[in-house]
Structure 1
Amino acid sequence: MSEWRDSVQDSQARWEANAEHWDDYMGEASNRFHRELIRPSTEKLLNVQKGQTVLDIACGNGNFSRRLAELGAEVIAFDYSAKMVERARLRSKDGIDHIDYRVVDATDDEALLALGRQRFDSAVANMALMDIADITPLIRALHTLLQPNGVFVFSITHPCFQTPHMRKVHEVEEVNGEMRVRDSIQISRYLTAECYSAIGIRNQPLPHLMFHRPLSYYLNLLFSFGFVLDGTAEPSFSKDEDNGQFDWYEMPPAIIFRFRKMSGSCT
């Protein structure tokens, strides 16, 4: 939200401090959360075709950028952390001919539009919008950057289930000689937008800033700029992999949307 624009530089500085730690942790293959939950549904919703031009927003160390290139796409990828982009380039030497990494601030209208009007068949932002202080410039620019009928697929922490101050509850109960396990969450508020500090990876140098917004905020913002919602997914982990601790089985930890730029809409 616009009232958080003063947080942009603070957020960027924190990601610069965390960049190397996050890259070391994610490595070449990313983590289980991305491999099993985010990537499969995102790829299905994007439906990338060989030769398409795709914009990878907040690309981090380039894990998904490289996957897009493997699928035959020409990729423009950006992040506002220069250290992240440097790490992405180092990891992408084999496919760098098909990936153009750039340092761009997703809240900067002019920098976004300089990427190219109606240049992109699709755009993707994996687990990033909740880390951006003001997403209005990005959504506004995407309507210009995408071709007619172009799609924008993005994933975020599920705002209905992962709110600030959310509490995870893992209960074990003996019933008639059997041990039963129940996972649940406690949520005290949802509708109030809030900026808060969070730890995404254990031992990261600094907490990074996250920006909680209710679902209606995301939906109405995209609608206001001429996008229509035509796909969604709420992935969760398979119960077969129960490790005896709290995990996200019946409650999705993330939600993924596909919005489409309406054919013939103005840019």
Structure 2
Amino acid sequence: MQKTDVAKHWNENADQWTRDVRAGFDVYRDKFTFPAFLDALPAIKGLDVIDFGCGEGTNTRTFARMGARVTGIDLSIRMIQHARRTEEADPLGIRYQVASYSDHCGMPDASFDAVLSTMALMDGPDFPGAMREAYRLLRPGGFILFSVLHPCFITPGLGWEKDDEGRTTGLRVARYFDRSSFTEHWRFGNRPKDEDVLPFSVPRFPRTISDYLNAVASAGFMITQIGEPQPSHAACEAVPRFSRWRDLGGFLLLVTARRA
């Protein structure tokens, strides 16, 4: 699967995705993955920050409200259009650009103090390229922080084990070394079941944890922090299915690294 295929899928997803995210249907983002990312994020007030895979800009706008000077890039022109419309209606000084995070994006070397990416880098075909581009864009001493689905648990053969009463008792991990790309079809799970909504088509590029960490190191970064956060007790109370990811397996991987 090529970048053009990825862009096509996300252009087709963009309108429904934007409506759903802004309506609060992405409870994983709202109650787990983005709060965990913010917990790991150093202070960014006054920094030049670029958001890799910014999508429709919800997270990007949070970074801007934290005092950063923010640029967002995304492969999907439809996603960027949604982000720009929101910026026009409520300006925060964000610059958005249609670009691949794994190619030269057209911005000068050493333009940024931080590269951030929330749940986007697992959806592109060239992760090593993304790390090289991040390294190029960072000033000396700058850092990258990214979150991805945990590669050791979110595998192509994932499945939940249940007992005779239907209670979830374990997580089956299979085909860990199967790096074949595929397209996953799903919709946000807390939507009303009878709604006539087409599922999203989301390209997936399975990798091992060594694929991720070695690409970070090979680009020249020094890894400074690895995070495997669990959903909070409050999040599990609000969304009971999160307890599976608190007790039975890891959902999220966070990596922080610095450029020398």
Alignment partner, residue 137 of structure 1? 129
Contact 2:127 2:215 in 1 (8 A): no
Alignment partner, residue 84 of structure 1? 79
Alignment partner, residue 221 of structure 1? 215
Distance 2:245 2:164 in 1: 16
Alignment partner, residue 193 of structure 2? none
Contact 1:23 1:87 in 2 (8 A): yes
Q: TM-score, normalised by structure 1?
A: 0.84
Contact 1:233 1:257 in 2 (8 A): yes
What do the CA deviations read for 1:38-60 (whole angstroms, capped 9, x no partner)? 22232233313321110001101
Larger radius of gyration: 1
Alignment partner, residue 59 of structure 1? 54
Unaligned runs of 5+ in 2: 189-196
SS of 1:247's equivalent?
A: helix
Task: State how 1:1-267 maps to structure 2 within 5 Å.
Answer: 6-27=1-22, 31-93=26-88, 95-109=90-104, 112=105, 114-171=106-163, 181-202=167-188, 203-239=197-233, 240-241=236-237, 243=240, 247-250=244-247, 251-262=249-260
What do the CA deviations read for 1:171-202 (whole angstroms, capped 9, x no partner)? 365xxxxxx94431112221232211112425
Distance 1:154 1:244 in 2: 24
Q: How far has the Cα of 1:154 moved from its partner?
A: 0.7
Distance 2:114 2:242 in 1: 38
Alignment partner, residue 265 of structure 1? none
SS of 2:154's equivalent?
A: coil
Q: 1:33 to 1:243 in 2, by over 3 A?
A: closer
- Identical amino acids, percent of aligned pairs: 27
Letter in 1 for 2:230: S
Q: 1:182 to 1:154 in 2, by over 3 A?
A: same
Q: How far has the Cα of 1:237 moved from its partner?
A: 2.3
Q: TM-score, normalised by structure 2?
A: 0.87
Contact 2:44 2:68 in 1 (8 A): yes
Distance 1:157 1:214 in 2: 11
Unaligned runs of 5+ in 1: 1-5, 174-179, 263-267
Q: 1:218 to 1:245 in 2, by over 3 A?
A: closer
Q: 1:246 to 1:50 in 2, by over 3 A?
A: closer
Distance 2:201 2:160 in 1: 20
Letter in 2 for 1:133: P
Give the superposed CA RMSD: 2.3
What do the CA deviations read for 1:52-90 (whole angstroms, capped 9, x no partner)? 110001101101111011100000001111110111122
Q: How far has the Cα of 1:238 moved from its partner?
A: 3.6
SS of 1:230's equivalent?
A: strand
